[in-house]
Amino acid sequence: MSTAARAGRLSTLQAAFVMARRDFVAVLFSRSFFFFLLGPLFMLTVLALAGGVGKQVRQNTERPQLGVAMSVADTDAVVKAHGVLAAQIGPAMPQLVVVRRLAPGEQFDPLSEIKSNKANLAAILTGTPEKPTLTGPQERIGDWQGRVALIAAQAAGKGPDSFPDVALSGIATSKADQSQSRMATAQIGQTVLFMLMMILAGMVLSNLVEEKGNKIIEVLAAAIPMDAVFLGKLFAMLAISLVGITVWGLFGGAIWLGSGNSLTDYPAPAVGWPMFFGLGVLYFALGYLVIGSIFLAIGSMATTVREVQTLSMPVTMLQLLNFFFASFAIAQPGTWIETAAIIVPFSSPFTMLAKAAQDDALWVHGAAIAWQLVWVALLVRMGASLFKTRVMQSGSGGREKRRWWQRKGPAPA
């Protein structure tokens, strides 16, 4: 039986769980946390509404166009058929543009026209209404195949139950275009991760300074080990942060989806959206534990809010530099810069989340997560040691120190 068990005291992990539950409940049901949640919700509402309006404007001004390049007679027939169907069906019919009326025997390359055309040309219809060919990006022509068959049948004068087979000539997305699209997703993921981490990590400091000012921390230090106090506060704030992210995500996502947006409007990450979001939560937790342990150690050295702001400013600036370092590293894949950004524990979460958007390999995330867990354990241990030393000095150790100076002082006259 351990010494702690014989004495009737909780172990460090049990005490840390009790401490985490106490802080979690106290913060979760406080009025300050409720108003803390409301601030970003207003911002998310405005951003979602602005995004919905912007999407509607883009749909009205940049509507994808279907080009037609056929003989003169066939082109006129297709244009007339499109006009009839557009009046009946409405905006679901793609906007039609006459690219060229071909002379007899004239050769035409729709692929070159799509790549060189400066208009918003998404696909080109060639051949004849009886045997049409649709050339364009795979996802676009697959979506338009049925509507083009309807136009071709109307142009050929066929009945409503007889549709010609539309041959599809898909253009594969180039690797350069795909990399550029995924780079945008990587940058957005990095930015959101950094903003959430810096906004939510500040709760650790404010909670600690408040309890130090009320002398609550000294009562806790007398009841449970200081390592347990540190761990409990750290994981309680992580749980509170995840609650906040969940509330913001559900509320903002509902408004965002209700405004007509969807994930298909954005380039999909290499690992897919479900895995990307899962890794995002995991990397947030690891990064939060690292920066939170440092902030807790800083908070143990401060006695006022002003001191907290002064001491935390260098850490905040260093974390901003790590974010810039990770942002620069994603543009240097396979180089020593990217490797260094992955190894450094403070920039690793940002770099690895961006890598998930660019590379579909999953084993590298397992290795990176294991490496970050090592650093989390090390930094949490170091932070707990400094936390214990500083808090004990501000408590009974400080009183013993004052008594020593009183004994050494000059005797009263």
Q: DSSP letters of 117-157? A: --S-EEEEEEE-SSSEEEEEEHHHHHHHHHHHHHHHHHHHT
The pLDDT assigned to 281 comes to 94
Q: Is 370 left (phi over 0), alpha (psi -120 to 50) or beta?
A: alpha
Fold of 64-172: D-Maltodextrin-Binding Protein; domain 2 (3.40.190)
Residue 360 CA, distance from chain mean position:
17
Q: Looking at residue 397, what is its pLDDT?
A: 43
**Among residues 163, 141, 157, 167, which one has the least CA distance to residue 84?**
157
Which pLDDT belongs to residue 406? Answer: 42
Task: List phi, psi (to 5°) of 121.
Answer: -90, 115
pTM: 0.68
DSSP-derived secondary structure for 65-95? EEEEEEEHHHHHHHHHHHHHHHHHH-TTSPE
pLDDT 10s per residue in the chain (413 long)? 444 444 456 788 888 888 889 889 888 888 878 888 877 766 666 655 555 545 554 454 456 788 899 999 999 999 998 888 888 777 777 888 888 899 888 888 887 777 665 556 778 899 999 889 988 877 677 778 888 888 888 888 876 667 888 888 876 554 545 666 788 888 888 988 988 888 887 777 666 766 766 667 767 767 777 778 888 888 988 999 999 899 888 887 887 777 667 777 677 888 989 999 999 999 999 999 988 888 887 777 766 667 777 777 887 888 889 999 998 998 888 889 999 999 999 999 999 999 999 888 899 999 999 999 999 888 888 877 877 777 666 544 444 444 433 444 455 54
Domain boundaries, the chain: 10-48+176-400, 64-172
Neighbours of 340 (CB within 10 A): 15
Bridge partners of 123?
Answer: 66
Looking at residue 44, its pLDDT comes to: 62
159: helix, strand or coil: coil
Q: Is the separation of the CB atoms in 317 and 299 below 8 Å? A: no
